[in-house]
Structure 1
Amino acid sequence: MTLLTDAAAFARPRYAEAHRHYHTAAHVQAVVHVLKVRGALTPALELAAWGHDLIYDPRANDNEQRSAEEFDTWLAAQGAPDDLRRTVRALILATRHTAPPSGRDEALFVDADLSILGANSEEFGIYDRAIREEYAHVPDDVYRPGRAQVLRHFLNRKRLYTTPEFSELEALAQKNLQRALARLEGN
């Protein structure tokens, strides 16, 4: 087995946890797929895809940090080189979406992670409903403004996608986000 195959086998049980509705293995496979069809998939990006949502607790705000740490521990136990481990860790942490990506690989990975925002309206709707299911524990009067804040954060960016490989998703993502925001705000 290769490191990539082993990583998928290691991560799949986590992505199958009952509380996950969007952050599943299907999301990981979608991230890998959009990178692959754009000719941008590398082993480090594929490893980061399997590690980036390894831990997903909708009640926590440090999922990416914890995912990066746990996946790095696993990579170290597999004998992965230090430079690969550093790269994968940085890629995973980039999906916090709190700062602009540092370098091309991070930009590609962040764009791939956010590619669902630029999906057709049906796929975006499925994603949006799945996110709500993951936050079923949050009452509507708290969820709606919180989710609106997240969507507004993405809408307020100068550009959502920073790489040429994903730029064609920009217009549709803007429309999807605007429609979702209008629904949340009752407009």
Structure 2
Amino acid sequence: MTLLERAEAFARPFYAEPGRTYHTAQHIQAVLDALASRGVLTPTLALAVWGHDLIYDPRAGDNEARSAAVFGEWLAAQGADMDLIPEVRALILATRHTDPPSTRAGALLVDADLSILGADPATFAAYDRAIRQEYSFVPEKAYRMGRAQVLRSFLDRDRIYTAPEFAGLEAQAGANLRHVLRELE
């Protein structure tokens, strides 16, 4: 069994945890497909995809850091190359979406993770409903304000997608975000 196959086997139970409606194995497959369909999926990126949402607690603000730590420890226990572990950790941390990606691989992973924003309107609406379910514990008014702030942060960027392979999603992502922001605000 390859390292990537072992990573998938290790990660799948995390993505099947109760309470996840968007951050599931289906999301992981969509990110992998987004990279593969553009011809940019590498083994390192695939590992980072499997590790990037291992820990998902909508009440916490450190999910990516915890995911990077858990997955990095797992990679080390598997005897992964010592250069690979910090690279995968850095890629996972890039999915915090707080700073522009500093590497091409980071840009590809971040853009693939955000590719749902540029999906067709029906797929985007299903994503938006799934996120609301994951945050069902948040009162409606607070959710609307918080969600609008998060989505506006993407719309306020010069560009949502930084890798040229994902530039074609920009217009649809903008339309989707503007639409849902009108509903939220």
2:144 maps to: 144
Structure-2 separation of matches of 1:160 and 1:175: 12
**1:60-79 to 2 correspondences below 5 Å:** 60-79=60-79
Counterpart residue type for residue 9 of structure 2: A
Identity of aligned residues (%): 66
Structure 2 residue 13 is matched with structure 1 residue 13: yes
Give the C-alpha shift of residue 103 in structure 1. Answer: 1.0
Whole-angstrom distance in 2 between the partners of 1:103 and 1:71: 20
For residues 120-131 of structure 1, the aligned pairs below 5 Å read 120-131=120-131
- Structure 2 partner of 1:35: 35
Q: Secondary structure at the match of 2:100?
A: coil
Matched, 1:94 2:91: no
Unaligned runs of 5+ in 1: none
Measure how far apart 1:141 and its partner are: 1.1
Q: What TM-score do you get using the length of structure 2 for normalisation?
A: 0.99
Cα offsets for 1:57-78 (capped at 9, x unmatched): 0000000000000000000000
Partner of 2:117: 117
Partner SS for 1:144: helix
Q: CA deviation at 1:82?
A: 1.2
TM-score (norm 1): 0.98
1:32-85 per-position Cα deviation (integer Å, ceiling 9, x unaligned): 011001000000100000000000000000000000000000000000011111
Task: Give 3-state SS (helix, strand or coil) of 2:40's partner.
Answer: coil
The residue type paired with residue 54 of structure 2 is L
Residue of structure 2 in register with 1:56 after alignment: 56
Q: C-alpha distance in 2, partners of 1:38/1:23?
A: 22
Q: Secondary structure at the match of 2:83?
A: helix
SS in 2 for 1:82: coil
Q: Shift of the alpha carbon at 1:163?
A: 0.9
CA RMSD of aligned residues (A): 0.4
| Corresponding residue for residue 26 of structure 1 | 26
Partner residue in 1 for 2:83: 83
Write the letter of the residue equivalent to 2:171: A
Give, in whole Å, the separation in 2 of the partners of 1:43 and 1:68. Answer: 17
Aligned to 1:171: 171
5+ residue gaps, structure 2: none
Deviation at 1:128, TM superposition (A): 0.2
| Equivalences, count | 185
C-alpha deviation, 1:18, in angstroms? 1.1
1:13-44 CA distances to partner (integer Å, 9 max, x unpaired)?
01001110000000001100110010000001
